[in-house]
Amino acid sequence: MSRRWNGCGLLVLATFVSALAAVAGAMGSVSWTHHRLAHEKGGVPGTLTVTGHSTGKGGSRGCVGDFRPDRGGDARTGIRLEASGKCAHGVGDRVRTRMAPGSDTAVPPGSRSWIAPGAVAAGFGLMLLFALTAIGVTAARAVRARARNAPSGPP
């Protein structure tokens, strides 16, 4: 006896696959943007002057400051300095960084902060691949089962 998916099961599966795709895409986009900024490609180059520290999850300490673009323009305040761990800069320190347009995070050259989101994106991408493979295998088995059970010859 073959098990068939009803409409509710397919809806749950489609929602799961869509969520995996959305998370993988979002994390991959963040990772790629930070990778490019850390390797001094794209973004707006400038200097971040550390004005304070913020405490994140698990007591991690991050830097916050004012970003001034190299080519002039208005300074932006309250910008988070992306770091691969605790922020080692003191208040008043000036750090060379790049910012993506519309972002509130500055990335210093050589930062490895893009690795974690990249690993998460790869993990979700693999889960998406496995889910789509499972759907394909299930569909192929259902087609084969129907072909075997179909009456042969004219009625």
Looking at the fold, whether 55 and 81 belong to one and the same domain comes out as yes
Query: What percentage of the chain has pLDDT greater than the value 90?
Result: 4
| Side chain identity at residue 12, one-letter code | V
State if pTM tops 0.85: no
How do residues 126-142 score in pLDDT, each as one tens digit?
888 887 788 778 778 87
Looking at the fold, whether 72 and 86 belong to one and the same domain comes out as yes
How do residues 58-117 score in pLDDT, each as one tens digit?
655 678 899 999 888 888 888 888 776 667 778 888 988 888 877 888 888 877 776 777
The dihedral through the CA atoms of 120, 121, 122, 128 has a sign that is positive
Looking at the fold, whether 91 and 103 belong to one and the same domain comes out as yes
Looking at the fold, whether 83 and 26 belong to one and the same domain comes out as no
Looking at the fold, whether 115 and 60 belong to one and the same domain comes out as no
Q: What is the pLDDT of residue 68?
A: 92
Residue 18: which region, alpha, beta or left (left: phi > 0; alpha: psi -120 to 50)?
A: alpha
Is 31's pLDDT higher than 60? yes
Q: Which residue carries 């304070």 as its tokens?
A: 52
Looking at the fold, whether 14 and 35 belong to one and the same domain comes out as yes
Looking at the fold, whether 135 and 102 belong to one and the same domain comes out as no
Residue 116 domain boundaries: 8-39+111-148
Token pair listed for 129 = 């691949």
The verdict on residue 2 lying in a domain is no
Looking at the fold, whether 47 and 102 belong to one and the same domain comes out as yes
